[in-house]
């Protein structure tokens, strides 16, 4: 006689939903508190705008969890999520620590970019899981993660050297002087043992991400439902267009880069006028 085993699927699904919602609410609260704690000169309009801007990425994070059945901090999304959060955290916190002489800070663009970058990487990983040429996709994901972490790493190095985030003057120097001379100056300021340590750290960080993602790609199931594929594909395409065109130019580093571009163009124009 076969024993009847109670079906706990609805309860399990309900418990998962509670975890997904709780994690998104905690992430929302953490991002908002990061903005609120590191911004200066904000008013009610700024706070309400930040509240609204954080809602779309949190809804997308919930959808990603719901489709995959995994939380954001599971092994499935760990490197992608932490890559995005490294961008979201670094500049706001360093600008807050800088304090003296710091301009009015609006770190919401960096926080949002970190959230959307994590979603972009998650979508890319999920869409390529189980496909042919898996190692190629795995390598591309690793390269994207390292590129995204490169600027936060440079911000930390610059802050440790000079006590400020990368300034417009530093970017202008980088773009107007020869790259070799600039790199040599930074290496001299850091000291060669520190330079070697940073290079080794960055190499092993990329190696760890690659090996970690290799195991995930092998075990990650291919999306079966057309609706799931469509949601991840739309997320990937929308973010691939939105990030470079709208959000990246608003972040601290690229806004400073844009300002130096205008300064250089003005200098060229002044030279032509003379």
Between 144 and 55, the more confident residue is 55
pLDDT in tens, 96-141: 888 755 555 568 899 999 999 999 988 888 887 766 666 777 778 7
- Provide the domain count of the chain: 1
Q: For 181, phi and psi rounded to 5 degrees?
A: -65, -40
In angstroms, the CA 205 to CA 212 distance is 10
Question: Does 216 reside within a domain?
Answer: yes
Max intra-chain CA distance, the chain: 99
Q: What is the mean predicted confidence (pLDDT) over 201-217?
A: 80
In angstroms, the CA 5 to CA 49 distance is 51
Please report which confidence band the pLDDT of residue 2 belongs to, taking 50, 70 and 90 as the band edges.
very low
Question: Does 85 reside within a domain?
Answer: yes
Question: Does 6 reside within a domain?
Answer: no
Question: Does 2 reside within a domain?
Answer: no
| Burial bucket for residue 50 (CB in 10 Å: 0-12, 13-18, 19+) | buried
Question: Does 125 reside within a domain?
Answer: yes
Question: Does 7 reside within a domain?
Answer: no
Question: Does 5 reside within a domain?
Answer: no
Question: Does 122 reside within a domain?
Answer: yes
Residue 222, pLDDT score: 67
For residue 92, what are the domain limits? 13-273
- The pTM assigned to this predicted structure is 0.83
In angstroms, the CA 174 to CA 167 distance is 11
**Percent of the chain scored above 70 by pLDDT?**
87
| Contacts with 14 (C-beta within 8 Å, 6 or more apart), sequence order | none
């Amino acid at each position: 006689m076969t024993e009847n085993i109670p079906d706990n699927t609805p309860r399990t699904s309900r418990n998962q939903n509670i975890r997904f919602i709780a994690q998104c609410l905690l992430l929302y609260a953490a991002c908002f508190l990061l903005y609120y704690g590191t911004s200066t000169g904000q008013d009610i309009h700024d706070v309400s705008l930040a509240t609204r801007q954080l809602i779309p990425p949190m809804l997308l994070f919930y959808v990603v969890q719901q489709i995959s059945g995994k939380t954001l901090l599971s092994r499935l999304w760990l490197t992608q999520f932490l890559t995005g959060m490294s961008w979201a955290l670094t500049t706001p916190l360093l600008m807050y620590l800088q304090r003296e002489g710091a301009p009015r800070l609006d770190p919401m663009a960096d926080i949002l970019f970190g959230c959307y970058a994590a979603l972009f990487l998650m979508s890319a990983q999920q869409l390529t899981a189980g496909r042919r040429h898996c190692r190629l996709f795995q390598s591309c994901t690793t390269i994207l993660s390292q590129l995204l972490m490169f600027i936060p790493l440079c911000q930390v190095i610059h802050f440790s050297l000079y006590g400020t985030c990368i300034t417009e003057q530093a970017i202008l120097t980088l773009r107007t002087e020869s790259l070799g001379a600039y790199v040599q100056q930074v290496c001299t300021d850091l000291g060669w043992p520190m330079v070697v340590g940073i290079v080794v750290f960055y190499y092993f960080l990329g190696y760890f991400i690659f090996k970690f993602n290799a195991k995930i790609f092998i075990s990650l199931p291919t999306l079966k439902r057309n609706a799931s594929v469509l949601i991840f594909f739309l997320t990937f395409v929308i973010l691939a267009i939105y990030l470079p065109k709208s959000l990246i130019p608003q972040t601290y580093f690229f806004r400073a880069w844009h300002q130096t571009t205008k300064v250089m163009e003005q200098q060229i124009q002044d030279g032509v006028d003379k």
